[in-house]
Chain A
């Protein structure tokens, strides 16, 4: 039990993710998290605005059940499995503190970005909404996210997935090294 409560090592998490990938392939499905964003649009009636959403969402029920499971998994982890604050490399701690992220090493998510107090400020709300927007827009434009491209796409040796993953890193590096110091 002790082992479950500690943070899980990469060599535990990687193989579990591959087990999920394996099971989905054997079940005749594709491993992808961001396609559900489209399904949610379709269910909410987005087909009225664009033909791109006129799809039969019922064939994706399995995927909605899967992400509901992911949510339940998150609930279980946070409530019963002693989730603690990640302990970062001292250099990262320094750069975060210099941008005002003092909750580093004491919180799972940064209070300075995700606390209720921050959300109730205009800037806080806009930054969180914008981050989500970029993720949703980018994932659909690229045709997949970390699960669909970085894991299942690269595992299937797909060149488009490699291009997408390179893009993920260009964007991520730009944000962390150039834009974040301007935003925070």
Chain B
């Protein structure tokens, strides 16, 4: 029962990703060509409003009454830049980041299963070579 809220939030998020077209390969392509404000509007409004909400919510407690703690990102530079570039290459080529991938499984395109398998394989490979990479 306690997981129902996560299911509901996931469904809302999934519908939003598809209906706002941010899960469309075409919109990602257009974004990287700077031809349409749409993607920037979605991410930008989420960041601006999200910053306000995050700022305010830090002064509150969680639903269960604990102090709100948002774990800060670990210090680093190379991992964020190199990892980010690799991610960006895949994001543009496949037209989907992890959230939309799960939503696109519902599209009926069988290839999305291969895309997701690739992502799991990528995460697995990273785990194997992590200690040898620059951070």
Contact = CB atoms under 8 A, between A and B. Distances in A.
From DSSP, what is the main secondary structure of chain A's interface residues?
helix
Contact of B122 (A23, A37, A153, A163): A37
Contacts of A168: 84-85, 87-88, 91
Contacts of A92: 26, 29-30, 33, 35-36
**Number of chain A interface residues as a range:** 35 or more
Interface of A: 4, 7-28, 30, 33-34, 36-38, 40-41, 44, 46, 49-50, 52-53, 61-63, 65-79, 81, 83, 85-86, 88-89, 91-92, 95-96, 104, 108-110, 113-116, 118-119, 124-125, 127-147, 149-161, 163-177, 179-180, 183
A26 B57 contact: yes
**Number of chain B interface residues as a range:** 35 or more
From DSSP, what is the main secondary structure of chain B's interface residues?
helix
A18 B50 contact: yes
Contacts of B38: 10
Contacts of B28: 172
Tell which of B43, B53, B127, B130 has the most Cβ of chain A within 10 Å. Answer: B127
Interface string B83-113: 1111111111111111101111111111110
Nearest to A15: B49
Interface in B26-85: 26-33, 35-47, 49-51, 53-54, 57, 60, 62-64, 66, 68, 70-77, 79-85
Given A73-B17, A108-B26, A177-B33, 17 more contacts: A10-B20, A10-B44, A30-B70, A37-B122, A73-B13, A109-B25, A130-B90, A131-B118, A133-B125, A139-B97, A141-B87, A142-B86, A146-B43, A156-B51, A167-B83, A171-B90, A175-B32
A176 B82 contact: no
